[in-house]
Amino acid sequence: METAVAMARVAVAAGTRVMATTSHVHVSFGLGPDDLEPARRALAERLAHEGVALELVAGGEVSTRRLPDLSDDDLRRLALGGGPWVLLECPFGPADIEPHVTALQRRGFEVLLAHPERSEAFQRDPGRLGALINGGALAQVTAGAFAGHFGGLARRTALRMLDAGWVHVLASDGHDEVSRPPDLTVAAPALDDEQLESMTTTAPAALLAGERPRVTARTAR
C-alpha cells in the first residue's frame, strides 16, 4: 500500500489524472479480479483520505498463459475501465501471440497489446504488429522505451512502430516510485505535441469509453 501511494503521488506530479490499475495477471502471481477489485477500492480510499487526486479504473495486464484459466466474466472484470478492451501482455520471447489475439476477439473482446516493442517476435519482424493492427488490435508502448530505458533495440523498435503509425497508447508500465516510476513525460522528446496528447489523453479516454481511437501519424522534425 505504501508503495502504491508513493507511485500515485509520482503519477499526479507528472500530470496523470486517471490510471488503469493493470497489475500482472500471470501464472507466477495467481492474481485475478477477486484480488484486484478490493485492492483497488482500498487504494482509492487511501488516496482520497490523503488528498491524492488520482482516479483509479479497472484493468489487468493479462498474460497469454493465463487466458485459458479466465472466464469471460473474469476478463470483463479485468478489461480497461470495465469496457471491451483487454490489455494483453506480449511475450518477451519469440512466442506467437496471434492465436491469443484471435481467441480474445472471438470471445467478443477488443485487444490492446502491451509493450510490443520489448517482444522478441516484433523486434525481429515489426510487420507482425502491423498485421495484428490491421486485424483490429491496438498497441500500447511503454514511455521509457522511447527514452532508451529498456535498451537500444527496444527504443529502435518503438520508433519504427511510431513511424509506421502503429502506436496508439503510451503507458508508464510503472512498477515502483523510483526505478520504474509512473511518469509518461520521459517519452516527450520522441513525440510531437499532437502525438503526446493523443497517446496520453485522447486515445486512453476513447478506450475507456469503449471506442476505437484514431492514429496520429508521426510528423518529421
**Residue-wise pLDDT tens digits, 183-219:** 999 999 999 999 999 999 999 999 999 999 876 544 4
What integer pLDDT is reported at residue 215 of this predicted model? 63
Band (142; pLDDT cuts 50, 70, 90): very high
Task: Say yes or no to pLDDT of 221 above 50.
Answer: no
Once rounded to an integer, what is the mean pLDDT over residues 36-40?
Answer: 97
Interatomic CA distance for residues 86 and 26, integer angstroms? 14
CATH architecture of 2-208: Alpha-Beta Barrel (3.20)
What integer pLDDT is reported at residue 172 of this predicted model? 96
Task: Say yes or no to pLDDT of 2 above 80.
Answer: yes
What integer pLDDT is reported at residue 154 of this predicted model? 98
Rg of the chain taking only CA atoms, in angstroms: 16
Interatomic CA distance for residues 77 and 73, integer angstroms? 6
- Nearest-CA neighbor of 31 among 95, 86, 90, 77? 77
Task: Say yes or no to pLDDT of 162 above 90.
Answer: yes
Q: How many helices (H) and strands (E) does the chain have?
A: 10, 8
Mean pLDDT (the chain) is: 95
Once rounded to an integer, what is the mean pLDDT over residues 16-45?
Answer: 95
- Nearest-CA neighbor of 45 among 59, 55, 60? 55
